[in-house]
Amino acid sequence: MPTRQRNQVLKGSHGGMQLVLTEDVPNLGKQGELVEVKAGYGRNYLLPNGLATAPSKHNLRLLERYKQRVLQAREARIADLKVLAEQIQRVTVTIEANANEEGHLYGSVGAPEISKALKGKNLNVDPDMVRLEGPIKEIALYAVKVHLGYEIDTEIKVLVVRPAEKVEKK
């Protein structure tokens, strides 16, 4: 009975394991890159979460073609994000919040409220993309930075107003 060859993970020049990234990993590398990481990090985090795969000889041969496809997909994504950035820059978001007579809000307006208002205008922006220096606590017009990823930043105008007084019918 022939013995089966065990799939060994390639060792890097520094003694770590070599992996091919299937997703962008912050502070490590971009999708499609061959990286060397410590064995525990690769075995316990990257591989189980599907962020990387073990490079077989076949995968290493296909890596160049894979990089071309990843590059094309990345360029398409960047183009979409630039269009989104232009759309966001043209929009002014109005958020209603309860406030006292001096204009101080009873609560505050944060990234989730701004994200929800943008999604209401069919602009898909997650709360973690909104970069606030601190919570908004007064009624005014603010310029808020939005980081869309791939080093694409834009700015949006956020107008915080008191809710319109409801007129009672008699």
Average pLDDT over residues 51-55: 86
pTM of the model: 0.61
In percent, the amount of the chain with pLDDT more than 70 equals: 89
Closest residue by Cα to residue 117 from 72, 65, 160, 80: 160
Res 85: pLDDT: 87
**Residue 75: exposure state from Cβ atoms within 10 A (0-12, 13-18, ≥19):** exposed
pLDDT, position 38: 92
pLDDT tens for 112-165 read 999 898 888 888 888 888 898 888 899 999 999 988 888 888 899 989 998 875
